[in-house]
Structure 1
Amino acid sequence: MKKISTKITAFIVISILICACNAVKRVPDGQLLLTKNEIRVDGKIIKEEKLSNQLYQQPNTTLLGYRLRLNLYNLANLNPDSTYQAKFVNDPEKYNRKSKWLSAKQVDRLGQSFFYNGIHNFLKTTGEPPVVIDQDRTTKSILRLKYYYFINGYFNVSAIYKIDTLNFKKGIVKYDIFPGNAFFIDSVQTSILTPALDSLYARNKASTFIKPGLQYKTEDFENERNRITTNFRNNGAYYFQPNYITFNIDTINKVNKANVTLLINNYSYQEADSTKTEPFKLYKISDVNIYTDYSSSKEALNFTDSTVYKNFNLFSQKKLKYKPKSITDAVFITKDGYYADYKTVLTTRYLNNLKIFNYPSIQYEIDKRDSTAQSLIAKVYLIPRKKYSFGLNVDVTHSNIQDFGIGLSISETIRNVFNGAETLEIAARGNIGSSQDLANPRNNFFNVSEYGLDVKLNIPRILMPFNTDRIIPKSMIPSTLITIGFAKQQNIGLDKENFTGGVSYNWTPKVNRTARFDLFNTQFVRNLNPRNYFNVYGSSYNALNNFSKTYNSNLTYFDNPIDKNLIVEEGTAGFIRDVLSGSSTFLQPITTADFESIRSIEERRLRLTANDFILATSFTFSKTTKKDMTDNTFYLFKTKIESAGTILTAFAESTNQKQNSGGNYEIFNLEYAEYVKTEFDYIKHWDLSKEKIVAFRTFFGIAIPFGNSDYIPFSRSYFSGGSNDNRAWQPYGLGPGSSGAVDDFNEANMKIAVSGEFRFKIAGSLKGALFADAGNIWNVLDNVIDERSTFTSLSDLKDIALGSGFGLRYDLSFFVIRFDLGFKTYNPANEIGRRWFKEYNFSNSVLNFGINYPF
């Protein structure tokens, strides 16, 4: 309690100090602190971001209306060294006294300590100096505003500004803009001197950005210039550049209208001391030469091996190490085809995606054999990477289950393993971690360990017995991934062995779109220590133990006659067997409700300790508008559909396989899982400028068992809660439905999740966020009968939980460290009338640690 009161006192003191700061403390006399920019267009206040961004001066940043960074800066001593030295100049004896028990050197170094120097440097760098109104910058802002309107068709725009004093050393700048009437395009004419280019333009004229009736915008003219250039250069105009395109804008004798003339002159070039012009030529490719082992470090290249494959010429300084098809499939530049920029880009992208070469170089030169000088030789230079490469990685990890983990992985990559540009990767990995969610009687910090071996073979084409080029052309950069893996997990729990294998096909239908088809994905999970179930799942044990004290009469099931706790495994198994078989004598008749509860406990135990075999086929598709890492206005859509066990059942039925006593089919003496599963994930970000971002995510997933299964395997089920989900609950701590998370690891086969965040900058690399998470999990169409856990109608949407809170994030450029504090805003597990805000306090809050943003 004392520590808490100390922290609260410190917080209050710091808050008072910051709030007591004088915002104009460091504003020079006779000048004004810029508190606001006001932009009025024809007398109406406009708050458009595009207009505000034209101004050269912006007020100091605020956090919820408070100038935090300005006040932090004002708290700093701008000259801490001089202040420290002044202490001893005014009082020399003070320096002598300190030197006697510290030494003179230590006294001097004390001035560089965090208390005297470092804290002030931190406040200066984290803070923000006052933005003082500068008339020169204000004048430049006026010019920027006028230019902004001019390039958007307001050719007669005028603007003025006025500086108003609010109070002591504070001011506001008011900008008044009078744009006048906008100009519109009246007519569009063309003058293209090269006939071949004139034909190309006419062929794609319908997609022009400049059309009669549209308002004049300089941006449209830039887009049209880029469109024309792209069109020409993708159809053979090798020497064409955007600077050959000019626009003549005629507004003479026009009222708010402009006539546009598109001008494209002939090609100009230097010959000796004179400049010559001639019509542009459309170039074709006469040869495609591929140098498979080029070395830029060698002055002279001696290619001793060569071959011709489908009009491609392949050269090698040593014996050719690649199957020609594996290289030529990646080259989209074709002999006798027109030169095209997009073919160069696509070829570069595909070759780089092979991961067996360094970034390729593609060059073109005039073919001197062509008397018309309209042919190009394409030269593709490939620098091979090392055939063998060794990798070693050490990772610090965090997940919804593992609070802290240290992982080590060792990998060996073999490139061009079968001479077809394939890549083989063999990786061994190990991990030790700490988890509070597992039973840990010895209280060991590292109570989770795992090791495994993975083998991946990547083939840069669709590996099928028939040709798939018409369905998935090579321009979609298709590949086949074959994987085999083994992992063994040891912890204070059930311990598991996990065998995986799969064949998947990947391709990119368009830019920023990806598709993946898993022909099959196999997983075999073997539990090594199922007898330890009731030691791990304490909630199930406690419930069963309470029933035992009420009904059990077999003293051999107890650890002692006083406490009468069930022995794991002999006592728990014996009591369950007696209840379900009804063959024993009990202290009193078992009620129907208690019998169903005991049966439910046993069904869950069997489900979570059963060895699972899954043979699934799935298709995944994703689309995003995100252009690069700095793009903060985008959306991402991802969907997946998966079917498991259907092929095995079809085979079993067609071959008249026998069913077991439970009426299910088996493979390798093991019942396999059969279900269909689908997921939809949508993420949307809005950039509000000034590093303010709104992020939104919604997710829906459902897995329905049928045929050979009446439940979903644990590894394919859903859970709720955790740092990347509903942050007001611990992982596996929410749901299903309104059941109140009575089990240790609560999971179900349907999930709904919706999250929103408002992200903002606090100071420097420190970011903040306000968030709200809604969602839950339910059982549907499986063997769970508890009404609180199942979804039967839309009225069950009332069980959607709501968590809200705030977070701090520190951006280290290459990753983000994240802390989120979530509060239970609406808890469906509580009785009606006590669901809203009854647990909205720090004692029931959840602090989440995460790496990078949750979505």
Structure 2
Amino acid sequence: MKLLLGCRQVSPKIGILFLVLFLASCNAVKKVGEDEFLLTKNIIEADGKKITDETIKGLILQNPNTSILGYPLRLNLYNLAKKNPDSLYQNWLNKKEKRQQRLNSFLSKKQVDRLGESFVVRGYSNLFERIGEPPSIIDTVKTRKSTERLQSYFGSKGYFNSTSNFKIVSEERKKKAQIIYEVNRGKPYFIDSLQYKIPSTDLDSLYQLHKNESLVKNGAQFDLENFNAERGRLTNIFRNSGVYNFQESSISFNILRDTSLVADDQLLEVELDIKNLPKGDGNPDGVDYKIHTFKEINIFADYSFNSQTDSLFSLDFKGYKIWYDKELKYQPKALTDAVFFEKDSVYSDINRKRTLGQITNLNTFKYPNIEFIADSTNAELISNIYLAPRPKYSFDINFDISRSNLQQIGVGLGTSVITRNVFGGSETLSLSARGSVGILDDPVSDETFTSEIGGDINLTFPRIWLPFNTEQIIPYYMTPQTRFSVGTNFQQNVGLDRQSLNSILSYNWTPSSFVRNTFELLNIEFVRNTNTDAFFNVYDATYSILNGIADGFEDIPEFADFYDENVDPSIDDDDLQDLIVPNGANDFIGAVTEPGFDITAEDLSTVRSIEERRDRLTEDNLIFSSSFTFQKNNREGINDNQFYSFRGRFESAGNLLSLAENFIPFEQRDGSGLVFGVPYTQYVKTEFDFIKHWDFRNTKVLAFHSFIGLAIPYGNSESVPFVRSYFGGGSNDNRAWNPYSLGPGRTDNQNDFNEANLKIALNLEYRFPLLGDFKGAFFADAGNIWNVFDNVEDPEATFNGFSSLEDIALGTGFGLRYDFTYFVIRLDTGFKTFNPAKEGSRRWFTDFNLSDAVLNIGINYPF
């Protein structure tokens, strides 16, 4: 066996130590008793065929020890723990005469006793036992119970006469064994006919309307899941059709034959039995289930546990009675629009849930409670809706630590003041301010720190705020919201320093529990670069290219003022002269791009490209855009690892201003229309984002992510603004490249901030448990960015059809994560597996080594 310890040369003693630990940990049966066997594999066979269904495998009560790539790490860590470390300590203490006496005189008897309980003696053994995993020793009691569960499962699928057994295949010398579970299913039973017995006339009428939609069908194989689903379906129908107190336990299915008797046919007669509501608190007289309508609806707008309803005032509004204390602080319509019950209407459980959802959406009340008082004789309901107001004002201070594609770490402090029910219609006004400092990633900038300060004003309406009625299109049960916000932000030491002013008018609503729509009617963003003279300081890679070209023109007398002086006059070396920033660099560009100047075509093209990039990145941007975003996510909770999510977005910018320009002459500059002296941006942009997770039991998850985005400039713009473009690399993208260092296309990190207007990204990640809350992952990230339909002409950076897909970069690697339940801290190590910037065969595995690996620290999973 050969032990590899990385690339460094290690001392023989350290190597021997690691070898001993490794060999010790390889003894998987170290703590397996003489008459015991370590379970290595479960095999399930049904009618002689191997079963691979994860649901059926989950019925087995005892499984082999967990492993990582086939290696039982936790078991071997457990085996490293000493069985009785305290007794071993006592043996060592008493092995030599007077050893304990000498230690007692040097320390004290009490300290010597405590030493036996210390980490030195017991600590590492306790640690290994805690993070390790005891050997999975075959337990025949659990095995028999597993066979019973298998038999019960197949019985629920219609195999009523199935049998199950098991056999243990052991290797006595190795003290290891496999268990083979054998199931003989027999013939399945099928449903021949479905009868029903429903004493309640109201329930019977409802059932007749919907019986053709039954999930229990004649001729279908018996499946208990279908019967349970049918009980749920009928319960929903009854509760949403006026039977407010219907209980699912009232539904039962009876099989009208003895399935234990052997018969020529395998057919079943099934009876649906829906019993009456039993006598009790909800049904004191023992009457039938009935369809109930609303007799009265009361809304208590100022409810508290100490409220005395006798002292409240009331107001009748559109069939509702609103109760309040002294003065009604809310517009009646705002309250009644949140309630989906109406007087004389039939009760519906869906409307109860929608009412709770819309009241929560008002963000004005806490813990809404709905009470129903029934008059069983007349089948009528009185509904009391209790609304406990939130405080009018609230103040919040928050402190956060963040990690992004630009910052190694950032620390922020923010504060906000919230005012509720601003205009009496449950509107919410929020004023917030924030500030942060961060440590930049080395590849991002020569600067070490970044700072940011900003503030926002947000006004939220719990409805669609438009001059016309939208309730028919977007009803209130979709919890609609209108948000109007104005904010400003000042950022230093990232790029050219930036000031931005943003204003948004947006609408969002949720058509279902899994779908959310957002429509930004107007998103106005003004971006002003406040330190444009620092362009060649910030983008030093661009400056180096320009300076390299300028080295060939140092002897021209007219260019003398473009360069700085030698740093050491004693050295006669023109290479020590550099272009002065910013004037020398700007003047040099202006001089060599004049018509007739003697410069090679290649150098002239490069200089013009630098000039275009400088103009683009230093110009101010004015963006008037509208967008629509569709999001669907069927994840049901934080522990749901079997879900998918989809996000589609379409954005259009500049069209409103372009239309206005047809009627109002705009100021012009270089053929572009100006608004307040700034060229407005015009483009269309679309994005598709898809995520899918597969759960493989034992918290093992396979996660897939795909993204494609394209922004096309036109009309008033030749390129997409930097703030709306795409980049590659970073902790949430291709983790084998640093942020902004991938692409475009085949180019090799030619700029400090590489960006483009087309992006494709594909990510695959396998996540698995390691030790306790530590998780591991293997990942593969593919993708790149390109320029397309803009003013970039470099064939290596542009997308030129399907052939450009050969430039998709591939990064692979592994990650370590610590799960805090509510968030995850992760460390990912990425290797450049396929680098499109290389030539030919050097594209594969050229930088696939630890010294060229990229480390990414992130918070939460990237997808």
Matched, 1:452 2:462: no
Matches of 1:473 and 1:332, distance apart in 2 = 10
Amino acid at match of 1:841: N
1:436 corresponds in structure 2 to: 441
Shift of 1:356: 1.7
Matched, 1:250 2:252: no
Conserved in 2, the CA contact under 8 Å of 1:247 and 1:260? yes
Amino acid at match of 2:647: K
Matched, 1:649 2:649: no
1:17 corresponds in structure 2 to: 21
Match of 1:384 among 386, 389, 393: 389
Matched, 1:761 2:766: no
Matched, 1:236 2:238: no
2:686 corresponds in structure 1 to: 678
Shift of 1:246: 1.6
Q: Which moved more, 1:44-53 or 1:146-155?
A: 44-53
Q: Which moved more, 1:834-843 or 1:736-745?
A: 834-843
Amino acid at match of 1:764: G
1:566 corresponds in structure 2 to: 579
Matched, 1:770 2:778: yes
Matches of 2:142 and 2:7, distance apart in 1 = 51
CA 1:476–1:162 in structure 2 vs 1: closer, same or farther (change >3 Å)?
A: same
CA 1:293–1:609 in structure 2 vs 1: closer, same or farther (change >3 Å)?
A: same
Matches of 1:671 and 1:101, distance apart in 2 = 84
List aligned pairs for 1:761-800, cutoff 5 A.
761-800=769-808
Shift of 1:448: 0.6
Match of 1:284 among 264, 289, 293: 293
Conserved in 2, the CA contact under 8 Å of 1:293 and 1:383? yes
Shift of 1:594: 0.6
Q: Secondary structure at the match of 1:200?
A: helix
Matches of 2:267 and 2:663, distance apart in 1 = 76
Conserved in 2, the CA contact under 8 Å of 1:401 and 1:437? no
1:544 corresponds in structure 2 to: 546
Shift of 1:114: 3.9
Conserved in 1, the CA contact under 8 Å of 2:290 and 2:379? yes
Matches of 1:387 and 1:4, distance apart in 2 = 65
Amino acid at match of 1:727: R
Match of 1:200 among 198, 203, 206: 206
Matched, 1:721 2:729: yes
Match of 1:581 among 572, 587, 594: 594
Conserved in 2, the CA contact under 8 Å of 1:551 and 1:590? no
Matched, 1:620 2:620: no
Shift of 1:42: 1.6
1:534 corresponds in structure 2 to: 536
Shift of 1:102: 5.7
Amino acid at match of 2:578: N
CA 1:12–1:425 in structure 2 vs 1: closer, same or farther (change >3 Å)?
A: farther
Conserved in 2, the CA contact under 8 Å of 1:404 and 1:434? yes
Shift of 1:483: 0.9
Conserved in 2, the CA contact under 8 Å of 1:251 and 1:257? no
Matched, 1:465 2:471: no
Question: How many corresponding residue pairs?
Answer: 842
Match of 1:485 among 487, 491, 513: 487
List aligned pairs for 1:55-74, cutoff 5 A.
55-74=60-79
Conserved in 1, the CA contact under 8 Å of 2:652 and 2:684? yes
Q: Secondary structure at the match of 2:651?
A: strand
Matches of 1:302 and 1:89, distance apart in 2 = 84
Shift of 1:415: 1.3
CA 1:174–1:271 in structure 2 vs 1: closer, same or farther (change >3 Å)?
A: closer
Amino acid at match of 1:69: R
Q: Secondary structure at the match of 1:596?
A: helix
TM-score, L = length of structure 1: 0.95
Matches of 2:278 and 2:223, distance apart in 1 = 29
1:631 corresponds in structure 2 to: 640
Match of 1:156 among 131, 152, 161: 161
Match of 1:40 among 33, 38, 45: 45
Matched, 1:845 2:850: no
Matches of 2:751 and 2:716, distance apart in 1 = 26
Matches of 1:681 and 1:15, distance apart in 2 = 47
Conserved in 1, the CA contact under 8 Å of 2:444 and 2:739? no
Conserved in 2, the CA contact under 8 Å of 1:18 and 1:72? no
Shift of 1:182: 0.6
Shift of 1:242: 1.3
Shift of 1:90: 3.6
Shift of 1:161: 1.5
2:423 corresponds in structure 1 to: 418
Conserved in 2, the CA contact under 8 Å of 1:721 and 1:732? yes
Matches of 2:626 and 2:389, distance apart in 1 = 36
Matches of 1:688 and 1:302, distance apart in 2 = 59
What percent identity do the matched residue pairs reach? Answer: 45
Q: Which moved more, 1:244-253 or 1:675-684?
A: 244-253
Matched, 1:607 2:585: no
Post-superposition CA distance 1:507-541 (Å, at most 9, x none): 01122000000010111111111001101101011
Conserved in 2, the CA contact under 8 Å of 1:696 and 1:756? yes
Post-superposition CA distance 1:314-368 (Å, at most 9, x none): 111231111111122111122111111111111112212222211211110025x
Amino acid at match of 2:528: R
1:225 corresponds in structure 2 to: 231
CA 1:240–1:604 in structure 2 vs 1: closer, same or farther (change >3 Å)?
A: same
List aligned pairs for 1:86-101, cutoff 5 A.
86-91=91-96, 93-95=98-100, 97-98=102-103
Matches of 1:291 and 1:77, distance apart in 2 = 67
CA 1:436–1:267 in structure 2 vs 1: closer, same or farther (change >3 Å)?
A: closer
Post-superposition CA distance 1:53-110 (Å, at most 9, x none): 1111111111111111111111012443444444334447444555666666665555
2:398 corresponds in structure 1 to: 393
Post-superposition CA distance 1:385-415 (Å, at most 9, x none): 1111111111111000011111111111111
1:509 corresponds in structure 2 to: 511
Amino acid at match of 2:268: A
Matched, 1:310 2:318: yes
Conserved in 1, the CA contact under 8 Å of 2:667 and 2:675? no
Match of 1:266 among 251, 276, 286: 276
Matches of 1:288 and 1:742, distance apart in 2 = 69
Conserved in 1, the CA contact under 8 Å of 2:667 and 2:677? no
Matched, 1:557 2:562: yes
Shift of 1:550: 0.9
Post-superposition CA distance 1:695-727 (Å, at most 9, x none): 111100000000110001000000000011011
